[in-house]
Amino acid sequence: MKRNLWPPGIAVLFFVFAWAAPKGTVPRSSASQYPAHAQQGGVMVGAKLLSHTEVRQTFVSDLNHCCIVLELAVFPPSGKSVAVSLNDISLRSAGRDTSTKASSATVVATTLQKHAREERDITVSPATTIGYESGPVYDPARGTVRGGGVYTGAGVGVGVGQRGDQPGASDKDRDVVETELSEKGLAEGPTTSPVAGYVYFQISPKSKKAVYQLQYTLNGGRMNLQLQ
Q: How many CB atoms lie within 10 A of CB 24?
A: 20
For residues 74 and 132, membership in a common domain is answered with no
Total number of domains constituting the chain? 2
Please give the residue range of the domain that contains residue 45.
Answer: 22-120+166-227
How far lies 80's CA from each of 28, 76, 84, 186, in Å? 19, 6, 13, 19
pTM of the model: 0.71
For residues 50 and 66, membership in a common domain is answered with yes
For residues 171 and 198, membership in a common domain is answered with yes
Please write the tens of the pLDDT for every residue from 148-169: 544 445 554 545 555 445 667 8
Asked if residue 9 belongs to a domain, the reply is: no
Report the C-alpha gap between 51 and 31 in whole angstroms: 20
Asked if residue 64 belongs to a domain, the reply is: yes
Asked if residue 1 belongs to a domain, the reply is: no
For residues 180 and 205, membership in a common domain is answered with yes
The answer to whether residues 181 and 109 touch, using CB atoms and an 8 Å cutoff, is yes
Residue 119: the pLDDT is: 74
Report the C-alpha gap between 66 and 111 in whole angstroms: 8
Comparing CA positions, the residue from 32, 53, 84 lying closest to residue 195 is 84
Asked if residue 141 belongs to a domain, the reply is: yes
* Domain closes at, from 141, 160, 179: 160
Please write the tens of the pLDDT for every residue from 104-132: 999 999 999 998 888 755 444 454 454 54
For residues 56 and 88, membership in a common domain is answered with yes
For residues 99 and 193, membership in a common domain is answered with yes
Task: Give the DSSP H/E element, type plus range, for residue 150.
Answer: strand 149-160
Report the C-alpha gap between 110 and 173 in whole angstroms: 10
For residues 109 and 132, membership in a common domain is answered with no
For residues 106 and 136, membership in a common domain is answered with no
For residues 138 and 214, membership in a common domain is answered with no
